[in-house]
Amino acid sequence: IYLELEKPSLGNNNADQQRACDAVRKKLKYRSTQMGLKIIKSLPKILREYDYRITATVGLRRDIAEIMNIEGGNTKDKNYMIVVDMGTTTIVAHLVDANSMRTIDAKACFNSQGIYGREVTGRMIAAERKGTAELQQLLIDDINRLIGGLAKDNKVNLKYITAIVCAGNTAMGHFLLGLPTQNIRRSPYIPTSVAPPPLRAAEVGIEINPRGLLYSLPGISGWVGSDITAGILATGINEKEEISMLVDIGTNGEIVVGNKEWLVSCSASAGPALEGANVECGMRAEKGAIERVYVENGKIKYKTIGDLPPRGICGSGIIDLVSVLLNEKLIDRSGNFIAPKDSNSDLIQYFDGIKGFIIADSQESQTRKPVFITETDIESVITAKAAIFAAMNILIGRLELDFLDINHFYIAGAFGNYIN
Amino acid sequence: IYLELEKPSLGNNNADQQRACDAVRKKLKYRSTQMGLKIIKSLPKILREYDYRITATVGLRRDIAEIMNIEGGNTKDKNYMIVVDMGTTTIVAHLVDANSMRTIDAKACFNSQGIYGREVTGRMIAAERKGTAELQQLLIDDINRLIGGLAKDNKVNLKYITAIVCAGNTAMGHFLLGLPTQNIRRSPYIPTSVAPPPLRAAEVGIEINPRGLLYSLPGISGWVGSDITAGILATGINEKEEISMLVDIGTNGEIVVGNKEWLVSCSASAGPALEGANVECGMRAEKGAIERVYVENGKIKYKTIGDLPPRGICGSGIIDLVSVLLNEKLIDRSGNFIAPKDSNSDLIQYFDGIKGFIIADSQESQTRKPVFITETDIESVITAKAAIFAAMNILIGRLELDFLDINHFYIAGAFGNYIN
């Protein structure tokens, strides 16, 4: 917020801090404001150099309005935040204009913690042996790389990024802050914290404004994390009369069922196949990824992101492809290839001794290597789908409901946007 | 506070942080609690090692209960705080038992900032030239030395000292935090802050519990500091129907007049004479200081603190002595010695060319040097007294009151306790 303070006089000889805080309080109607020592120290110079015209960056820390930054003059337009979805497999960061609350740009990367295991359980075991510090560092480095890229591409100075909001499963939330994870994976599954306090981002090494705040969204339990809280808020299923179901398909899939009076959730380990990982030609949903597979005049066709020559196949493409293969009777319900009797027969070949289907051959592909899906890949997809469907079934059953009782069905994330 | 937490089970699988915070909130009825990352990290181990029996140290930071420390088992008895009066000339620290709120011990020292000037103005000029860092360090070192001494003498581990409360004139409050002082001494006399937020004591280098809080009492303006706020609260003049006057006699003397409906204050520069500084044989009120001077059978007698041979003369002794000299007609109203006609004549001698009166000769004194007061010393005392009396007069006059309207008269501090 931009403020023009009353200038000091013998009639108004308030201290610099009180002058600035009073102005913020009046403008924003907060009951209580707070500013740190560094900002207080900087006030005398800034106020006098800029003739008592300042821009204050204010964040909420519990009930207190925390003045995170004060700059001379009007720099109101330059205020950004970062929003991160810390997935087990994929990390996505959005650069958001804090004035309009619109996303300006987004970037994603695979989670570098993958070297310690594809599932969080493996990483928690590693953390118990070696401490969480290394896992934390890998995650922070990923996040900093995404922020750095977003800042550079959009010509945003890091000091104008004043907040970062992170959501993710509870284990990822622990890794972010370096919290011990050992009790999450053992009955009765006790996390260290499901609602960590707002911290300075700098305290964990995240590179934004040095006084910028890191908000960890509150989660629910050891196995239902803050990404689900975010999903509930985004879909508004907690405000609807009718019963909704929210499914977050990730490496850990979570399902929430309920309405404005009650919400019940459960979690299932799906594996990373649907994020394009653990699949031979899988990739994230980036340019050149096959995102759609369909049949036209009896031919299997595909569409890539950006209509570029294919480099691989992403989650929505994988689901389409498996569906097409099943409909075209190229695979059976167990995911095994059936010898085809038509032109598609050339497309089934062996890859390292495992049967696979070529969706784009080496001529078409950007990499000069064919893009294909193997029986092993299909098994991963089936397992993931089965895990999530089983969880839905059990949850619905426990609630003595039927799928027909679900009035709204939501699939979370970018995946939900693109799935056919 | 000592807490026995409910143990986790599948029926109560709250996270460690929520479990601990809920227990604190329930016990203390605070609306909101907060704990820092380090404590959250330490929770899983402490809770399980000590079977969910813990002692939490809780401080108030604005409206939030800040959990500053969590220890295993019951360590409730070990909770201390430090209360400091940061005088321009003298720094006094009390060690207080935070359970009973009783002072256990106190220590004092001269303010090492004296090398930059006896008055805060000189020090503010030095701070403008060289930055506040050096003045801050001198003060912090003094405070740490006092805390260290108190902790050692009373066998208190520094980690059990969980808070420090500091009061002092506004310039001293600025030096404590390293705040810029340059606008305090120039019209319209704007301090950087008169109500700094609670900080971690470690942030300014004060050595107590690493998460311990530093509370700066709120002051009033650039020249009426938080020591006066403390004095008002301690005397309760803000709750009385009748009009009171509070005088804080220090290097800067402050006067407050008012009742429960209004309070007006002013400030006067008295100099350090009444604290035993800037007086040839002056000393702080420690063992061996002449604290009383009186006449018995026509002879001038004295009493020292601890009834030891005299080493010097402290504030209350100086005032007594000047009063006795005047009553005995050894000095005139201007403070000049009058040639006496009796046995006292031997006691008036020249010291470095200035007339002085010997109160204890080299035989009696602990240092084998006489304890005396010179005309220059007496002038300092007269000036100090005149400054404070002038301030009282002006304040009373401005309020269109008379001294007879004052129902209660308070003199602050140890000085107020001992003055005759």
Q: What class, spelled out in words, does domain A2-72 have in CATH?
A: alpha beta
Q: Which portions of chain A are predicted below pLDDT 50?
A: none
Nearest to A228 by CA among A199, A250, A213, A243: A250
Each residue's pLDDT tens digit in chain B (420 positions)?
Answer: 999 999 999 889 899 999 999 999 888 888 788 888 989 999 999 999 999 999 998 887 666 788 888 999 998 888 999 999 999 889 999 999 999 999 999 999 999 999 999 889 999 999 999 989 999 999 999 999 999 999 999 999 998 999 999 999 999 999 999 999 999 999 999 999 999 988 889 999 999 998 888 999 999 999 999 999 999 999 999 999 999 999 988 777 889 999 999 999 998 888 777 777 788 999 888 899 999 999 999 889 999 999 999 999 998 899 999 999 999 999 999 999 987 766 677 888 999 999 999 999 999 999 999 999 999 999 999 998 999 999 999 999 999 999 999 999 999 866 777 777
Q: DSSP of A270-336, one letter per residue?
A: --SGGGT-SSTTB--S-TTEEEEEEEETTEEEEEEGGGPPP-EE-HHHHHHHHHHHHHTTSB-TTS-
Q: Do B17 and A193 touch (CB under 8 A)?
A: yes
pLDDT computed for residue B215 by the predictor: 94
Q: Do A192 and B40 touch (CB under 8 A)?
A: yes
Q: Which of B24, B62, B132, B215 is most worth mutating to test chain A (most A CB atoms within 10 A of its CB)?
A: B62
In chain B, ranges of CATH 3.10.20.880 domains: 2-72
Per-chain mean pLDDT for chain A: 91
Contacts of B221 in chain A (CB under 8 A): 13, 15
State the nearest Cα–Cα gap between B129 and chain A, in angstroms: 15
Q: Do B196 and A37 touch (CB under 8 A)?
A: yes
Contacts of A192 in chain B (CB under 8 A): 15-17, 40-41, 43-44
Cα gap B66→B323, rounded to integer Å: 52
Chain position carrying tokens 């002013």: B266
Q: A8 — phi, psi (to 5°)? A: -70, 150
pLDDT computed for residue B413 by the predictor: 67
Contacts of B8 in chain A (CB under 8 A): 188, 190
In chain A, ranges of CATH 3.30.420.480 domains: 80-227
Nearest to A144 by CA among A166, A123, A173, A124: A166
Q: Do B180 and A64 touch (CB under 8 A)?
A: no
Where does B80-227 sit in CATH, by number? 3.30.420.480
Pairing state of beta strands A2-4 and A53-61? antiparallel
State the nearest Cα–Cα gap between A49 and chain B, in angstroms: 13
Residue B306: exposed, middle, or buried by beta-carbon count in 10 A (0-12, 13-18, 19+)?
exposed
- Please list, in sequence order, all residues whose beta carbon lies within 8 angstroms of the beta carbon of residue A167, skipping any fewer than 6 positions away: A83, A84, A85, A86, A173, A216, A217, A225, A226, A227, A229, A230
Pairing state of beta strands B299-304 and B289-296? antiparallel
Among candidates A40, A44, A196 on the partner chain, residue whose Cβ is nearest the Cβ of B182: A44
Residue A265: strand pairing partners: A256
ipTM: 0.79
pLDDT computed for residue A343 by the predictor: 65
Let me know the angle formed at the C-alpha of B70 by B66 and B74, rounded to the nearest 5 degrees.
125
Please give the structure tokens belonging to residue B299: 């002879």
Spell out which chain B residues touch chain A, with contact meaning CB-CB distance below 8 angstroms.
Answer: 8-10, 13-18, 32, 34-37, 40-41, 43-45, 62-64, 177-180, 182-183, 187-197, 199, 203-204, 221-222
Residue A159: strand pairing partners: none
pLDDT computed for residue A146 by the predictor: 98
Please give the structure tokens belonging to residue B110: 């001269």
Helix (H) or strand (E) holding A413: helix A413-418
Nearest chain B residue to A44 by CA distance is B192
pLDDT computed for residue B56 by the predictor: 93
State the nearest Cα–Cα gap between A272 and chain B, in angstroms: 27
Q: Is the CB of residue B147 less than 8 Å from the CB of residue B162?
A: no
In angstroms, how far is CA A272 from the centroid of its own chain?
Answer: 14
Q: Do A192 and B14 touch (CB under 8 A)?
A: no
pLDDT computed for residue B62 by the predictor: 66
pLDDT computed for residue A62 by the predictor: 66
| CA distances in angstroms from B372 to B206, B280, B282, B356, B362, listed in the order given | 39, 8, 9, 6, 10
Q: DSSP of A31-62, one letter per residue?
A: S-EEE-HHHHHHHHHHHHHTTTEEEEEEEEET
Helix axes A315-327, A375-398, angle to 10 degrees: 100
